[in-house]
């Protein structure tokens, strides 16, 4: 521990009390300004030129930060539906940020009696991304170069061909 921080917990005997004090001071939980900043980032994030996976990872990173810095909002009651509501809102937010090419697949998912989980929705959109890529002739993996590409620059018989 850095000496300047160690001084603040000097004399506290119980290790759990030391860690509790350090967490209250330095963890950043309940930092309303940071919560506000992360919420704004979440509002504007969209897929744009990213793959589905990159977009989903960015949103999940922001949501994890939001959950860390914001006070807990779900009650302890196992019958509480707040957690389900949060997952549903996040699933819909994910779908709203997708590119227009994914609107038909979103419509199919939203037409179901129960909205799929976020993980199921991400998987469905990754599959749709592959289908769109196959239909467009890109092999289903946009922006991925093959590790098997070999240049034939020294071979005059097959100029410009790559394998």
Helices then strands (H, E): number in the chain? 7, 0
Query: Which residues of the chain are under the pLDDT cut of 70?
Result: 1, 26-30, 71-83, 138-163
CA dist list (Å): 149 to 33, 51, 68, 140, 159: 49, 22, 44, 17, 14
At residue 90, the pLDDT reads 93
Counted domains in the chain? 2
Q: Are 48 and 116 in the same domain?
A: yes
Rounded to a whole number of angstroms, the CA Rg of the chain reads 24
At residue 141, the pLDDT reads 45
Q: Are 15 and 67 in the same domain?
A: no
* Domain of 10, in residue numbers: 1-29
**Alpha-carbon torsion 104, 106, 110, 112, what sign?**
positive
The answer as to whether 39 is a domain residue is yes
pLDDT in tens, 67-86: 888 766 655 666 666 667 88
The answer as to whether 152 is a domain residue is no
Q: Are 25 and 42 in the same domain?
A: no
Q: Are 62 and 124 in the same domain?
A: yes
DSSP state of 114: S
Q: Are 43 and 25 in the same domain?
A: no
pTM for the model:
0.62
pLDDT in tens, 41-71: 999 999 999 999 999 999 999 999 888 887 6
Q: Are 48 and 90 in the same domain?
A: yes
Return d(Cα 139, Cα 63) in angstroms, integer.
Answer: 32
At residue 142, the pLDDT reads 47
| Burial of 60 (C-beta count, 10 Å sphere; 0-12/13-18/19+) | middle
Q: Are 93 and 73 in the same domain?
A: yes
At residue 59, the pLDDT reads 95
Are 66 and 42 within 8 A, CB to CB? yes
3-state DSSP of 23-41: HHHHCCCCCHHHHHHHHHH
Q: Are 93 and 16 in the same domain?
A: no
Q: Are 20 and 69 in the same domain?
A: no
The answer as to whether 160 is a domain residue is no
Return d(Cα 95, Cα 36) in angstroms, integer.
Answer: 22
The answer as to whether 80 is a domain residue is yes
Q: Are 6 and 51 in the same domain?
A: no
Q: Are 22 and 36 in the same domain?
A: no
At residue 29, the pLDDT reads 57
The answer as to whether 16 is a domain residue is yes
At residue 98, the pLDDT reads 95
């Amino acid at each position: 521990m850095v000496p300047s921080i160690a001084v603040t917990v000097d004399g506290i005997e119980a290790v759990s009390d030391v860690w509790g004090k350090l967490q209250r001071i330095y963890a950043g939980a309940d930092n309303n300004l940071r919560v506000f900043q992360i919420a704004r980032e979440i509002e504007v994030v969209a897929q744009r030129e990213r793959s589905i996976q990159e977009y989903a990872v960015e949103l999940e990173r922001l949501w994890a930060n939001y959950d860390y810095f914001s006070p807990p909002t779900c009650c302890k009651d196992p019958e509480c539906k707040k957690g389900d509501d949060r997952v549903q809102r996040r699933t819909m937010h994910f779908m709203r940020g997708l590119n227009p090419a994914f609107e038909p697949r979103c419509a199919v998912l939203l037409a179901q009696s129960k909205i799929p989980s976020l993980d199921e929705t991400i998987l469905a959109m990754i599959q749709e991304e592959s289908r769109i890529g196959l239909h467009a002739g890109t092999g289903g993996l946009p922006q991925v170069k093959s590790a098997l590409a070999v240049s034939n620059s020294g071979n005059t018989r097959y100029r410009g061909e790559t394998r």
